[in-house]
A = this chain, B = another copy of it.
Amino acid sequence: MGRHTFLSLLLALLTPGAAIPVPPAVRALNNLHLSTGFTSHPSIVMEYSIHYIQQKVDHFGFNTDKTFNQRYLIANKHWKKDGGSILFYTGNEGDIIWFCNNTGFMWDVAEELKAMLVFAEHRYYGKSLPFGSNSFKDSRHLNFLTSEQALADFAELIKYLKRTIPGAENQPVIALGGSYGGMLAAWFRMKFPHLVVGALAASAPIWQFDDIVPCGVFMEIVTTDYRKSGPNCSECIRRSWDAINRIAGNGTGLPWLSETLHLCTPLKNTQDVQSLKDWISETWINLAMVDYPYESNFLQPLPAWPIKVVCQYLKDPSVSDPQLLQNIFQALNVYYNYTGQARCLNMSETSTSSLGSLGWSYQACTEMVMPVCTNGINDMFEPHSWDLEEFSDYCFRQWGVRPRPSWITTLYGGKNISSHTNIIFSNGDLDPWSGGGVTKDITDTLVAIIIPEGAHHLDLRANNAFDPTTVLLARSMEVRYMKQWIRDFYASLRKKY
């Protein structure tokens, strides 16, 4: 989900100057009021109350004493004052209600852990806008959109909850999050270990920074997903780019492409052709992230194992260019038209403006610099190198700021994090972001859990009858670790008194 917003940036890079595509997560959000049953587990009733806490706009300076209201949700149906716990979702780049609805795991384990659930919205997203509608106006208003400020919000919120909710004070808090939210959960435990006894960081690519992992690894995993989902599937996609280029080079190529791909808006020039390829690339990437084992409606309504369905249309790379592109259309149609309601495919859907996408685009242009590149050999995409200078110039044009690509590593330690404790890093092998994740145990208490059949934080989703055994195992290990942290907390509390 949120992870898509990283991609927006990537694609904007592939076509510098292009409008930043909307993260699908945010698109889904806009339709939230139309949707029901986000979770695939109809037996969970997600009852929560909505609250606001007054937060300093700037935790790290004293010149302004401006405040804003941060939204958070509380569900305490299963919470026990005696021996209970608090599960704290460290919200990421989007509306917190959407994350709440899509993190069924927390709801599924609440009773077992006697847990209060708290979902804290990340500043500059959803309803938690430091300057209201001016929040994205310019770099001056955006200045307080950083991971550090977000962690400080979480810290203040936890202290406030412990102070004001009778029975909460002497309970262990566990941070949980997925994607960027997973990074925040891990970083929160690293920087505020006095406030959370541990963290579950699901699909958190904390090493997709600097040159910690090769920039090519992300797209290689995407490619592997397609290669393994059907014979010749990735090869068909690899060949499609040149096919598009060749057809676009013909006199009647653009109208033919527009018609064959059922585009709502016909292609008009070469720039549109680049946008087309970016849009198709984003589609393949999105599918890799949501390649879940059951019918789901995370970013789009999709069949179970959607890449397998896609690959049924992409079996023969040796067909003619027009045939290949017709097959590509069928494949795209799986993602954009599973319900059969779409009358045409809307490339511009991914470039509608929205708060969520604005926020992440800024974050990606400042702290969250996550290099991604392709070479067309180890991956199925057109080659594109990672060019920091180009990126920096783009960011300066877009936001008037320049990225600090090493800051996250300086601040959070990069690979050198072994002195921390009690963090679970879970990753799915299908998830392209697993390439920047922690996939091997670092110490006894900094542990990696791999879900071979998992896409993007499958483990955080609600239980499902079609869940593969590996994710059930992952979740049960996660619960075991969390119970251990809770036990340790109460044991040390007893020692104190």
Stretch of A56-64, A96-104, A116-124, A274-282 lying at the B interface: A56-64
- Which residues in window 393-438 of A have CB below 8 A to B? 401-402, 404, 406-407, 410-411, 413-414, 416-421
**A315 at the A/B interface (Cβ < 8 Å)?**
no
Say which residue of B63, B140, B402, B410 sits within 8 Å of A156 (CB atoms). B410
A155 with B63, Cβ < 8 A, contacts A417-B194, A421-B419 known = no
A148 with B401, Cβ < 8 A, contacts A156-B410, A410-B156 known = no
- Which residues in window 152-171 of A have CB below 8 A to B? 152, 155-156, 159
Say which residue of B59, B60, B414 sits within 8 Å of A194 (CB atoms). B414
**A139 at the A/B interface (Cβ < 8 Å)?**
yes
The answer to whether B194 and A419 touch across the interface, beta carbons within 8 angstroms, is: yes
A407 with B63, Cβ < 8 A, contacts A194-B416, A417-B194 known = no
**A142 at the A/B interface (Cβ < 8 Å)?**
yes
The answer to whether B63 and A140 touch across the interface, beta carbons within 8 angstroms, is: yes
**A146 at the A/B interface (Cβ < 8 Å)?**
yes
| Chain B residues within 8 Å of A69, by CB | none
* Cα(A166)–Cα(B59), bound, Å: 38
**A366 at the A/B interface (Cβ < 8 Å)?**
yes
**A125 at the A/B interface (Cβ < 8 Å)?**
no
**A143 at the A/B interface (Cβ < 8 Å)?**
yes
* Cα(A192)–Cα(B417), bound, Å: 9
| Chain B residues within 8 Å of A414, by CB | 194
* Cα(A148)–Cα(B56), bound, Å: 16
* Cα(A49)–Cα(B411), bound, Å: 28
* Cα(A61)–Cα(B142), bound, Å: 9
Say which residue of B142, B191, B192, B411 sits within 8 Å of A63 (CB atoms). B142
* Cα(A148)–Cα(B61), bound, Å: 10
**A65 at the A/B interface (Cβ < 8 Å)?**
yes
Question: Which residue of chain B has its CB nearest to the CB of A418?
Answer: B492
* Cα(A193)–Cα(B417), bound, Å: 8
Pick the most buried of A140, A195, A407, A416: most chain B CB atoms within 10 A of its CB: A407
The answer to whether A155 and B410 touch across the interface, beta carbons within 8 angstroms, is: yes
Nearest Cβ on chain B to A368's Cβ, whole angstroms: 11
* Cα(A191)–Cα(B413), bound, Å: 10
**A481 at the A/B interface (Cβ < 8 Å)?**
no
* Cα(A366)–Cα(B62), bound, Å: 7
Say which residue of B65, B149, B366, B420 sits within 8 Å of A402 (CB atoms). B65
- Which residues in window 39-55 of A have CB below 8 A to B? none
8 closest Cβ pairs, A-B complex: A194-B413, A194-B416, A63-B143, A193-B419, A62-B401, A61-B143, A62-B366, A60-B60
CB-defined A-B contacts under 8 Å, sample of 30: A59-B407, A60-B61, A60-B146, A60-B149, A61-B143, A61-B144, A61-B146, A62-B139, A62-B142, A62-B146, A62-B402, A62-B404, A63-B139, A63-B140, A63-B142, A65-B401, A152-B411, A155-B411, A156-B410, A159-B406, A159-B410, A192-B413, A193-B420, A194-B413, A194-B414, A194-B416, A194-B417, A194-B419, A195-B413, A419-B421
Q: Which residues of A contact B (CB under 8 A)?
A: 56, 59-63, 65, 139-140, 142-144, 146, 148-149, 152, 155-156, 159, 191-195, 366, 401-402, 404, 406-407, 410-411, 413-414, 416-421, 492
